[in-house]
Amino acid sequence: MTWFLDHVGEVMTLAGRHLYLAAIPLFIGLLLAMPLGWLAHRYRRLRGPLVAGTGLLYTLPSLALFILLPGLLGTQILDPVNVLVAMTVYTIALLVRTVADGLDAVPSEVRLSATAMGYRGFRRVMQVELALAVPVIAAGLRVAAVSNVSIVSVAAIIGVSQLGSLFTDGFNRNFLDPIIVGIVACVALALILDLLVVAGARALTPWQRAGGGS
């Protein structure tokens, strides 16, 4: 506790960088996973290749990806863009199946009723189907959020500054305090992101709150 109070400014700065590297890919990955998930839902012949192909991306070792991306993107090894791209890849890998499953869970009767009311094509997908798929997508997004916070810390090994830097600093100096603070901060950050996803899902599904209160 004494070490944390003496370095609170440094920890907050690292936490802000960590949040940036974990949260921005979560948003971008969701935007990219939505059309891919819709394709997997809409065209059954594409479902297997899309879900399996994107799922395989998650098997890529994070450290290897952090090292390879500078050569592919033309960036420097310490450029945060490498981490942002890598975490976006992992987010897509987790969410394509989730989006497809969420759309699959929308009852066919709802789609028919929406079509009868004049909701067709893209409008029906955006205003009806995706709205009803929010609980399923949010569940996958929560997993991705926690996963991102965990994987981002690995980037400290190649010198990208964030909460993982507390781990490497503690190990290098054989000093336990920054390691413990880093662990607690990562858990707190993951919890904050999880609560934000839950709050966003609740805001997008007011009918569930109304149903729960009746």
pLDDT tens-place string over residues 23-36: 999 999 999 999 99
Quick one: which of 135, 114, 113 has its CA closest to 125?
A: 114
pLDDT(14) > 80: yes
Check pLDDT > 70 for residue 209. Answer: no
pLDDT at residue 1 in the model: 67
Which of helix, strand or coil describes residue 174?
A: coil
CB atoms within 10 A of CB 73: 12
pLDDT at 214: 44
Q: How far apart are CA 47 and CA 40, in angstroms?
A: 4
pLDDT of 44 over the 60 cut:
yes
CA distance 187 to 206: 29
The confidence score (pLDDT) of residue 129 equals 85
**Cα dihedral across residues 202, 203, 205, 210: positive or negative:** positive
Q: Given this model, what pLDDT does residue 21 score?
A: 96
For every residue of 99-114, DSSP letters joined together read HHHHHHTS-HHHHHHH
Q: d(Cα 58, Cα 134) in Å, to the nearest integer?
A: 23
| pLDDT over 60 at 11, yes or no | yes
Q: For residue 120, what are the contacts with CB-CB under 8 A and spacing of at least 6?
A: none
What pLDDT band is residue 211 in, cutting at 50, 70 and 90? low
Interval 112-163: pLDDT, tens: 888 888 777 778 888 888 888 999 999 999 999 999 999 999 999 998 999 9
Mean pLDDT of all residues in the chain?
90
Rounded Cα distance between 177 and 166, Å, is 9
As given in the structure block, the two tokens for residue 60 are 């890529």
